[in-house]
Structure 1
């Protein structure tokens, strides 16, 4: 039977790429005839307390024998003891958006702990589903996962039309949680050098790290009303369709759904060679700059902001690149096929 339990930490409605992927996969699988039950684990993941770990253990113990269980990596990677306990009676499937030890801002001890924890948990999974080919290589080479149990199910894209690109002044959109890994600090420093040009910038995303978010607002204070911290959104496509340029100088991405969504909306993209961007940014659809390079980011944005003709040409190239990306139904079929191969 096509039946599974999908486990994730916290609120599935959180406006992040990882949770967005989970929501969409659940919806698509249900459309394909799967019965999907959801199980939310309460706690401060990826660093749950002992009490929160105990609650998670009780939740897993209540799942019936021979159930197929998909566990989001934000929880699975830090619950190796639960994975070991239930590996025989449940069909555990680990979903890896990106290894937790690759997150920015961690100290050496946290990196080591998360790496070993995720390695132990993944060893208990009957299948591992990753969202990018590069992540597939990582889980095999760094975490010892058998390549034969790994499936790549890249995020899909929707087709909501293309941005008109007629902002006056042009709108720079950055879409992502306000965390160190996303490189918003580099973007703000580049924007400070572009005050001779007309533009507005919208920073859309939740303040997942409140201290980092506060630092960003302070850093951007001198730019006044030209910069808006809009908070999270449940309608990213509305933001994308209202923008002229998409920019996100991430230091690291497991995939980077915001980049592909921007291309699907026909937006010129400026980012760094991380995640999926080197694979999808083709034929003049945008610019990649080195990670952390304020000078290069300033030049890339200046070229697009100061030349409307070039910006329009880049937008058309972005739309062509976006049309080649997979849709969510394709992603769900790959995901579902991986589940069927290991169902108890």
Structure 2
């Protein structure tokens, strides 16, 4: 190739390489320099050694150079898109970590010295129900002090204000991080405060506090490390509807097949975990955390137990789970957590 097109393409290659060098000099990100170098090299090879692409085309049984170049261009574009998506995910992860650390710093460190059950309650716009959930909790269970911890996840109402009752620990996310993000903030605080057992329950009043002792007893008695409530083993509230209930059954079956488990209710948020076990679990999911917790518990060899519980209807407000997005999110979380 010669003439004006060669000069133009050569200039583009030099410009891409200069961009990569400048990015590396500024931020020292090796991936940016490597990506720019590969793109520039590909263009320069096309200018200086066009026969190289003919050789590749022969190997791939592609006769026309234009078709080959189009294929390589699409492959390069796909690689760029995947790279950008990975960079966005990394940025979001770092931002979420910053939000959690800032929220955790709102809590003063206690002296400890007692066995504690931290009840982590993620809440998003639950001003109508959160006070009743907090007040329903007992002060102690079998010698363990019960400490409610409400994580107001970017709520735009009085959730945080109404949760502040009788010494309840309340932290706020400045923006919504999802239930998984709120739980991770709660776990971080509970571990920093020396929790013995960590319980999670919803802020909408559907998990009855009178069944809390039944939930934590297997952990206290060293019969289990991870105890899950199951609406299908108890007196289930039937307000889910056929579609949602069928979805729960399907995703539970999927987890059981992939992890050789025997659970019945994979989306239930009423659970008790030995606090020390949380440090072994790799939790990255911000939105759809329930299956990730189960699969991570299974991977780490935790003793998992289910107990029957009663799920009550929402006392106020509407569910915030979109059906299609929720189903897709659960599928993605199950597959990714199982494979990693």
Does TM, normalized by the shorter one, top 0.5?
no
Q: Which protein shows a greater Rg?
A: 2
Structure with the bigger RCO (C-alpha within 8 Å, sep 6+) is 1
Q: TM-score, normalised by structure 2?
A: 0.27
Q: TM-score, normalised by structure 1?
A: 0.27
